[in-house]
Each structure stands twice: as C-alpha cells, then as structure tokens.
C-alpha cells in the first residue's frame, strides 16, 4: 500500500481502539457504505498495514502482574550465538518483547511474570540456554502509559 488517505487513517484509528467493531459501525463512523468499508479493510489487511487483530488481556487477571525490563549484554555477536538466543527467547512466552539495541545494552527484553520468584525461574532458564555476559532486571513499579496503538498521521 503506497499511501493512506484520510478514510484509511480513520478506519485504522477505530480498529486500533477496538478491533471488535462491526463493519457496519466502522462504515457509519467513517461515512462509507458497508461494502466500501469492508473492501478498504481487506485492502489494508492484504497490503500488510493491518498485520493481525488480537484480544488484549489484563495481565494481572491471568497471573502476570509483574512486568520486568531486562537488559542483556553479550560477549558474543556471531550468527550461531544469535540463532541460539533468538530460539531461546522465542520459546519463552514470558518475554513479550525482545529488541536488539544500540549503545551499552545489546538486547532489551520485556517479560510479564507472576512475581519475583517467577522472574528468577525465567532468568535461570534463559542463562542455561544461552551464554550471557551481563543481565540486569528492572521491576516495573507503576505503568504510566502502555499502548498497542501506533501513531497515525494527523487527519
């Protein structure tokens, strides 16, 4: 998809807020017919602008009340190590985000766990799967802002 128009942006804003909205509701809010709205959404999906639709869960309600930000440094940067690291973190569902970063930290990981003991068990599993130079954890005390919504061009 080359360029989003105002209607596409409005549709995306509505879907980012609540992807369970019916086609009829979205069409009404963006002033399109049901069929025209459906075609636009299908085009946004086919082009990859909409990559998937998911349900967002309340972490505390499912026993994942502690968010941990984990900084990882490694002494090894070869392809074999990276493959092993990617496999390890991909197989651990507690890691909800994993980023390779620039600067002093090589990787920044976000984990959602029940408590500190659960984080320690996750840490122990990780270090047995892949050698790491340094691991530092910060426990989130207060979540001030979190969103899955990406900033859209202003309309």
- For 31-47, what is each residue's pLDDT tens digit? 999 999 999 999 999 99
Q: What is the pLDDT of residue 2?
A: 63
> Residues 58, 59, 65, 66: is their CA dihedral positive or negative?
negative
List the structure tokens of 152: 């859209």
CA neighbours closer than 13 Å in the CB half-sphere of residue 124? 6
Domains of the chain with bracketed CATH: 6-46 (1.10.10.10), 60-139 (3.30.70.920)
Q: What is the pLDDT of residue 154?
A: 86
Q: What is the pTM of this model?
A: 0.88
d(CA 27, CA 36): 8
d(CA 92, CA 63): 16
Q: What is the pLDDT of residue 25?
A: 98
């Amino acid at each position: 998809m080359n360029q989003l128009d105002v209607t596409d942006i409005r549709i995306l804003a509505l879907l980012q807020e609540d992807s369970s909205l019916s086609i009829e509701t979205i069409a009404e809010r963006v002033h399109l017919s049901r069929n025209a709205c459906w075609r636009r959404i299908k085009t946004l999906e086919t082009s990859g602008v909409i990559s998937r639709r998911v349900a967002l869960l309340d972490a505390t309600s499912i026993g994942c009340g502690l968010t941990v930000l984990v900084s990882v440094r490694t002494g090894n940067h070869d392809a074999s190590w990276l493959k092993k690291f990617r496999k390890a973190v991909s197989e651990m569902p507690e890691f909800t985000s994993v980023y390779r970063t620039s600067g002093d930290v090589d990787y920044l990981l976000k984990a959602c766990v029940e408590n500190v003991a659960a984080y320690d068990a996750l840490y122990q599993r990780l270090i047995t799967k892949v050698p790491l130079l340094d691991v530092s954890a910060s426990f989130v005390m207060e979540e001030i802002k979190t969103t899955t919504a990406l900033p859209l061009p202003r309309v």
